[in-house]
Structure 1
Amino acid sequence: MQPDFYIGVDGGGTRCRARLRDAAGRCLGEGMAGPANPRKDARSAREEILHACAAALTAAGLPEDALGRAAAGLGLAGVGQEAGRAAVLALGFPFARLALDTDAYAACLGAHGGGDGAVMIVGTGSCGLALVGGRRTHVGGWGFEVSDDGSGAWIGQHAVRRSLWAHDGLAPETGLTRAVMARFGGDPDAVVAWAGSARPADHAAFAALVVEEAGRGDPLAVALMEEAAGHVSCAIGRLAELGAPAVALVGGLAGPLRPWLPAEARSLLCEPRADAVDGAILMVARMLEGEDRR
């Protein structure tokens, strides 16, 4: 049975986006909420997902109980491992039908219209995914603590770390290190207190400052952008090795980081056909089509 509505959700470490479409594919409304990474806090992620969906319903002029007539596709960071996936599903959702997968998978479906290709997400975190001949292969994206190289959180963490180096006289001070330390009142103890509970999104909040200072030629900011681009370039190359005909670079840092990539990596890139939110809608639509054929 075809649902009345489709709703797609793209949830990451900084924000959650939702889009509502009718059965004919017309966009009815969109909404946005806060971080929705279940690996960090599944209950909070669920709340933000529902906040974003409620905002999309409001934009469409529909009551909140319309979610019960919607098939939802959730593309979320943090559900690549079974524990994260199970934690989300255990909480329950008010949708008529639900398809759950990673934000990278949703982004790849959207970027290539469900065909072969790859996506490299560079936002708060980073993750690559290749879809070739029906087979998917992840590259990176194992979480901020052990992976996510070249991401906003990685850039921000290293900006703070190297600003402490400069404070201790282990590295030269630059405009970037002074700006970072100024956010903590110049007090390294404040940095330590902040770092004890800082989330990936808190680290990623410094990435915009690094991008800005790199544009001014700050040597540390330039070095960080070049290093981040090196990590992302390596992942793009690996996605191409896996047989992906093209790689879509997406995420909040895709634009700022692209000019720093070497020419060889840039030559492998393509523009995405659609975003991860529409990819999530395609994901649930495909699930329902498969059920109808049984």
Structure 2
Amino acid sequence: MTRSDSCVLLIDGGGSGARARLCTLSGEVLATGTAGPSNISTDFEAAAANLMGLAHAVYAQAGRDITSFANDYAFVALAGAGASAQRQELIDRFGFRRMILATDIDVTLAAALGTEQDGLVAMLGTGSFFVWREQGQVRRVGGWGFILGDECGGAWLGRELLRDTIKAYDGVGPSSNLTQKVLDHFGGTPKNMVPFARDSKAADFAKFAPWITEAVAAGDVVAQQIVNRAVQQLCDTIGPAHNVPQQHLCFLGGLGRFYQSQMPAEYQAICHSAKGEALDGAFWLAQKEFGF
């Protein structure tokens, strides 16, 4: 095989799942696929297995043998990649001609702003992080994982909901239809929440985030107070709207659109759509790194 026969595998993965796209070097999409959680810093073996299975699935869908790995390229952006000591081990397992293991922060910035635009990106999925680009300088905040950070992400929302439900049960906080729904889910008592909280991962907590967003639409008081706390945290992290580079603010992730709708008017006024999806950003970065 020659380079003209090569393809590039693009993967964007996080705590809740991963998406892949197999392309020709010119960008023609040959196959796509999804897989389970792929944060290599929280569970390396499970993430590696999910990613390998995903790669095999998209290659099979494209009718391309996995022996082609040796002639192909891969640009893989994963949550936790920056903190993992097993980066090279993952690269070696795949055996691509060349493989770059980037963070989800890198690919999110490229997807939101392209390669030139200054601005601020707020990524709000299972976890959260924020990236500023101004005059060629990039500054990152957050992305440290559910235990120590990831404020306002889906897992954070889920944990806040369980905490507020316990307060309602104990009579030291307001109760609502939402807190009753959570109690019913756990058998009517917070006692069953304790082993859940002890044994669960971020993605498990994040499953409660849609309960909150739906309850806000229904006027639930507890859901609204959780979102109010989150919005205040976002405003504190972003800083004054007039300081956002080039007045270009982009909310991304599964919760991005929801949070944008909840922000004060001065922030909503400077919001812009992303230039592409995460896998588009991965392709643009792959073009730059591999010289397509």
With the length of structure 1 as denominator, give the TM-score of the two structures.
0.90
Q: Which residue of 2 aligns with 1:288?
A: 290
Counterparts of 1:84-103 in structure 2, within 5 Å, are 84=84, 86-91=85-90, 92=92, 93-103=94-104
The 1:190–1:250 alpha-carbon spacing in structure 2 relative to 1, beyond 3 Å, is same
Q: Partner residue of 2:187? A: 185
Answer whether contact 1:42 1:88 (CA < 8 A) is retained: no
CA deviation digits over 1:186-236, x for unaligned, max 9? 122211011111111111110010111111000000111222222223333
Equivalent residue for 1:71?
73
Q: What is the match of residue 111 of structure 1?
A: 112
CA distance in 1, matches of 2:67, 2:253: 31
In the alignment, residue 97 of structure 1 is paired with which amino acid? R
After superposition, where does 1:1-294 map in structure 2 within 5 Å?
Answer: 4-81=6-83, 84=84, 86-91=85-90, 92=92, 93-117=94-118, 118-237=120-239, 241=243, 243=245, 245-289=247-291
Change (3 A) 1:248 1:67: farther
Cα distance, 1:138 vs. partner? 0.4
Matching residue's letter, 1:88: R
Q: Cα 1:67–1:241, aligned 2, differ >3 Å: closer, same or farther?
A: farther
Residue identity opposite 1:98 in structure 2: M
Q: Give aligned-pair identity as a percent.
A: 31
Aligned residues: 287
Task: Give 5+ residue unaligned stretches, structure 1.
Answer: none
Q: 1:237 offset after TM fit, Å? A: 3.6
Task: Assess if the C-alpha contact under 8 Å between 2:241 and 2:247 holds in 1.
Answer: no
- Give the conservation status (yes or no) of the 8 Å contact 1:72–1:281: no
Q: Which amino acid aligns with 1:171?
A: G
TM-score (structure 2 length as normaliser): 0.91
The question of whether the paired residues in 2 share the 8 Å contact of 1:68 and 1:96 is answered with yes
